[in-house]
Amino acid sequence: MASTTKRDGYHHGDLRQALLDAGMELVTERGLEGFTLREVARRAGVSHAAPYHHFEDRDALVTALALDAFGRFGTAMERAGRRARSGPVERIRALGIAYVRFALDEPERFTLMFRAELRSSEEATPVERAGLASYQLLIDAVTEAQGEGVIAVGHGPQIVSLMAWSTVHGLATLLVDGPMRRQAGTWRAVQPTVDAVIDDLVEGLRRP
């Protein structure tokens, strides 16, 4: 049965997916502050107690949403990395652009991914591990580029990767969530700016 069919009677069909959809919509509109289980249920057209048959509690639903977001993000990054065929430096560029693009295309998912509330302070959660997996793609590209001698090796791959990650993460954050929010809007509107910034980043890394 398709995930978004209307309910056909007493039973819903695929309430779990409907709750995830409604939850994402609610996070988009109101942020995590305005996220309530009852409102999610309302939007899914179901009583407020029904979600408990699919998620243990409110936190479990939020965590499921974050994991879903990381899944999509990881897919986007892998695809970008695979498409770049002209060497590790271009792969770094492609990963950076894909990072910012994902943030602009799916601002609510991007924001959700980095909410500190989703991570315990003690140990790495599944949500956290999902994020670090994508980072490894960048580290690999940097390591390869330094091995080939095409980017500076003044600092090790850890530092250079962190610097590149900082730049794209900062750019994405400023555009989506931060002070540039109003100027930003869609990916199409800011693509030239993003290209230029990442160009500066990549040129700065390149060995003279």
Partner DNA sequence: TGTACATCAGTGAACGCGCGTTCACTGATGTAC
Residue 58 interacting with a copy of itself (CB under 8 A): no
Quick check: helix, strand or coil at residue 138? helix
Which of 132, 148, 185, 189 touches a copy of itself by CB under 8 A?
132
Tell me the C-alpha distance between 46 and 74, whole Å. Answer: 32
Residue 37 interacting with DNA (CB under 7 A): yes
Residue 181 interacting with DNA (CB under 7 A): no
Nearer to a copy of itself, 79 or 129 (CB): 129
Tell me the C-alpha distance between 145 and 157, whole Å. Answer: 9
Cα–Cα distance list, 157 to 127, 145, 205 (Å): 24, 9, 11
Which of 4, 59, 82, 196 touches a copy of itself by CB under 8 A?
196
* Binding to DNA, residues 69-98 (CB under 7 A): none
Q: Which of 76, 28, 128 is CA-nearest to residue 20?
A: 28
Tokens standing for residue 163: 């610097």
Tell me the C-alpha distance between 127 and 96, whole Å. Answer: 21
Nearer to a copy of itself, 67 or 162 (CB): 162
Which of 17, 32, 43, 58 touches DNA by CB under 7 A?
58
Residue 82 interacting with a copy of itself (CB under 8 A): no
Tokens standing for residue 19: 């709750």
Question: Does residue 32 come out as left (phi exceeding 0), alpha (psi in the -120 to 50 range) or beta?
Answer: alpha
Nearer to a copy of itself, 83 or 155 (CB): 155
CB of 43 to a copy of itself, least distance (A): 21
Q: Positive or negative CA dihedral for 64, 170, 196, 148?
A: negative
CB of 71 to DNA, least distance (A): 23
Residue 192 interacting with DNA (CB under 7 A): no
Contact residues toward a copy of itself (CB under 8 A) are 31-33, 114, 116-117, 119, 121, 124, 128, 131-132, 135, 152, 154-155, 159-160, 162-163, 165-171, 173-174, 177-179, 181-182, 193, 196-197, 199-201, 203-205, 208
